[in-house]
Chains A and B, each alone.
Chain A
Amino acid sequence: MIKNKSRREFFSIIGFIGLACGIAGYIYSALRFIFPNILYEPPTSFRIGKPEQYKINSPVFIRERHIFVFYDLQGIYSISSICTHLGCSVNWKHGKESFECPCHGSIFDKDGRVKKGAAPRPLERYAVELAADGNLIVNTGARVDPTYRLKV
């Protein structure tokens, strides 16, 4: 009788754990579900035309890609226009040779380094490569250090 009772308890506990595992599994699936696997966001790698299109010392803003393209004597580089503080779009000030963020007044120099304000990091700099067909390719997935330039 006692043995029977303990067997019943044992199977009750096993059964209870089994059901709880099923529910835990469902909860995991629900949590995983809310993290998307595919994003329909713009591609991180794209063409921005040929080097000849860019003039020395006159930065070009490609707004749909959120980047500035610079061409100076050392080469070509691209800087993100998204402020590292809170994601606003910075504006290039020609006379001052600096980027200014409209949201909280952060100011960055020509190389994207923070000159003033609450921004914690320099503006992101993305890798620029020359494709076989002569087009420049920017890869916003590949971040490079603030001295990076593509020699052309």
Chain B
Amino acid sequence: MKKNIFARIWRSVFRHGIPDTDMNRSLVVTSNIFLHLHPVKVRKHGIKFWYTMGFGGTSFLLFIILVVTGALLMLYYTPVPSEAYRSMKDLNYVVSFGEFQRNLHRWAAHGMVITVFLHACRVFYTAAYKPPREFNWVIGVFLLLITLGLSFTGYLLPWDQLSFWAITVGTNIVGYAPFIGEKLKFLLLGGNTVGEGALLRFYVLHCFALPLLISIFMAIHFWRIRKDGGISGPPVEVKEVETELHSEKPAPEKTYGLMALVDGESFMVKKEPEDTVFTWPHLVLRELLWAMLVINILVLISLYFSAPLEEMANPYKTPNPAKAPWYFLGLQELVHYSAFLGGILVPTLAITALIILPYIDRNPRGEGVWFSRERQWIQIVFTVCVVALIVLTIIGVFFRGANWSFVVPW
């Protein structure tokens, strides 16, 4: 009797048996709201670690970590200039594991900027944005921008010298945009200077508006991966098998279930039959292991390295040098030559180029292979841009000292 009740409760939650048969391995994915993000079966090629290196999934995992640690930090944080810095001191010195949670949040945020960037590079070098995935690349570009926005808005919240002057420089760059620059800067700051209005606005953007926006875009991004045929890969090999055609009609492109028996071929006819494996356990286990590994690495980093906290923001004293967050230092390096060049022209051109990239790259070859020799030119151009960005960023981070003069870090 007792056993029966437990069985009934179990059955009310999980509608399938233990996934030891192909039937249950399918049901475990399709009947679970979280797992049904995945298809029931995935191509072996797609789950090879060295194909994706898990950059996209890691970005998502880091986002989850940021939501959790961010919600915890909100319990002790007050977004008012007189209180914000004190909150940070409390977190660092009074709250149990406060500094640890803050470190986790900080390093996960930096990590997410890196993994989203690397994910974009992976997608480029494996030509995964080729039709029908062009638009999902565009969504991805927006996800990259929102990630930078989230990181940038979070940067002001500690209200120390580092954050205050990074945001002062950053929002002044916005002011250089033609026509709308000054208005946009005023809107962002809720005033003319970085003050209490700006802090509250950045807080709302950081904790509510941008997380909501990125969630919506992520939902579209993940949904489209499925709709565009799952993870990219080289075209499925066609096996040369002699078959007799039953009719002249083209084969149906997709079959979802057994509705009726009709004449014709399934879309897998003539194709390699053993190309796929079940998502459960092959992909799910890999994801679980990878997630646990990443979380543990992040915990170790956060135990040993502390997020910076300088003295309280002082609007009257600019530290020398005053640097933007590291991922904007490539731009700041350009801004040092000309604010319009680094602040507006280069970012606008770069973002536009990224968005239209899948539509101008009409070369149909090379999909699903790293560094395909069939698309050398575009890879050279992209690599030159990426290397330029990295070099400028390294110069900005390590080789710029007082008055932005060139210094040698050793």
Interface flag for B335 (CB, 8 Å): yes
Tell me, rounded to whole Å, the shortest Cβ–Cβ distance linking A95 to chain B: 15
Tell me, rounded to whole Å, the shortest Cβ–Cβ distance linking B146 to chain A: 19
Instruction: State the 8 A-B residue pairs at the shortest beta-carbon distance, nearest first.
Output: A102-B320, A63-B316, A86-B172, A87-B172, A89-B318, A105-B403, A88-B318, A104-B336
Interface flag for B399 (CB, 8 Å): no
Q: In the complex the two chains form, is B165's CB within 8 Å of A85's CB? A: no
Contact with A along B307-345 (1 / 0, CB 8 A): 000000001111111100000000010011111000000
Interface flag for B71 (CB, 8 Å): no
Q: Do A102 and B402 form a contact, CB below 8 Å, given A35-B186, A86-B173? A: yes
Q: For residue A103, which residues in chain B have a CB less than 8 angstroms away from its CB?
A: 165, 169, 318, 321-322, 404
Stretch at the interface among B18-26, B187-195, B236-244, B286-294: B187-195
Query: A5 to B19, alpha carbons, bound, how many Å?
Result: 59
Number of interface residues of B (CB under 8 A): 33
**Which secondary structure dominates where chain A touches chain B?**
loop
Q: For residue A41, which residues in chain B have a CB less than 8 angstroms away from its CB?
A: 191-193, 195
Q: Which of A36, A39, A100, A104 contacts B335 (CB 8 A)?
A: A104
Question: Which residues in chain A, 111-148, are within 8 Å of chain B measured between CB atoms?
Answer: 118, 120
Query: A102 to B161, alpha carbons, bound, how many Å?
Result: 14
- Name B191's closest neighbour in chain A (CB-CB): A39
Interface flag for B405 (CB, 8 Å): yes
Contact with A along B158-183 (1 / 0, CB 8 A): 00000001001101110000000000
Question: Which residues in chain A, 82-111, are within 8 Å of chain B measured between CB atoms?
Answer: 85-89, 100-105
Interface flag for A40 (CB, 8 Å): yes
**Which secondary structure dominates where chain B touches chain A?**
helix
Number of interface residues of A (CB under 8 A): 22
Query: A40 to B315, alpha carbons, bound, how many Å?
Result: 15
Q: Which of B190, B191, B196, B339 contacts A85 (CB 8 A)?
A: B339
Tell me, rounded to whole Å, the shortest Cβ–Cβ distance linking B346 to chain A: 14
Interface flag for B57 (CB, 8 Å): no
Tell me, rounded to whole Å, the shortest Cβ–Cβ distance linking A65 to chain B: 9
Query: A118 to B321, alpha carbons, bound, how many Å?
Result: 15
Q: Which of B169, B196, B317, B336 contacts A87 (CB 8 A)?
A: B169
Interface flag for B230 (CB, 8 Å): no
Q: In the complex the two chains form, is A39's CB within 8 Å of B197's CB? A: yes
Query: A74 to B338, alpha carbons, bound, how many Å?
Result: 35
Q: In the complex the two chains form, is A36's CB within 8 Å of B320's CB? A: no
Q: In the complex the two chains form, is B317's CB within 8 Å of A89's CB? A: yes
Query: A25 to B402, alpha carbons, bound, how many Å?
Result: 51
Listed A/B pairs (22) with beta-carbon separation below 8 Å: A40-B195, A41-B191, A41-B195, A85-B339, A86-B173, A87-B169, A88-B165, A89-B318, A100-B403, A101-B403, A102-B404, A103-B165, A103-B318, A103-B321, A104-B336, A104-B403, A105-B336, A105-B403, A105-B404, A105-B405, A118-B336, A120-B339
Q: In the complex the two chains form, is A36's CB within 8 Å of B191's CB? A: yes
Query: A101 to B169, alpha carbons, bound, how many Å?
Result: 12
- Name B183's closest neighbour in chain A (CB-CB): A35
Tell me, rounded to whole Å, the shortest Cβ–Cβ distance linking A119 to chain B: 9
Q: For residue B318, which residues in chain A have a CB less than 8 angstroms away from its CB?
A: 88-89, 101-103
Q: Which of A89, A102, A104 contacts B316 (CB 8 A)?
A: A89
Tell me, rounded to whole Å, the shortest Cβ–Cβ distance linking A70 to chain B: 19
Q: For residue B315, which residues in chain A have a CB less than 8 angstroms away from its CB?
A: 89
Query: A101 to B339, alpha carbons, bound, how many Å?
Result: 14
Interface flag for A34 (CB, 8 Å): yes
Tell me, rounded to whole Å, the shortest Cβ–Cβ distance linking A23 to chain B: 20
Q: For residue B192, which residues in chain A have a CB less than 8 angstroms away from its CB?
A: 39, 41
Q: For residue B335, which residues in chain A have a CB less than 8 angstroms away from its CB?
A: 86, 104, 118
Q: For residue B190, which residues in chain A have a CB less than 8 angstroms away from its CB?
A: 34, 36
- Name A86's closest neighbour in chain B (CB-CB): B172
Q: For residue B196, which residues in chain A have a CB less than 8 angstroms away from its CB?
A: 40
Contact with A along B70-81 (1 / 0, CB 8 A): 000000000000
Q: In the complex the two chains form, is A118's CB within 8 Å of B338's CB? A: yes
Q: 4 more A-B contacts (CB under 8 A) besides A40-B195, A102-B318, A103-B404?
A: A39-B197, A86-B339, A104-B403, A118-B338
Q: In the complex the two chains form, is B168's CB within 8 Å of A36's CB? A: no
Q: For residue A8, which residues in chain B have a CB less than 8 angstroms away from its CB?
A: none
Query: A35 to B188, alpha carbons, bound, how many Å?
Result: 9
Q: Do A88 and B168 form a contact, CB below 8 Å, given A100-B403, A102-B319, A102-B322? A: yes
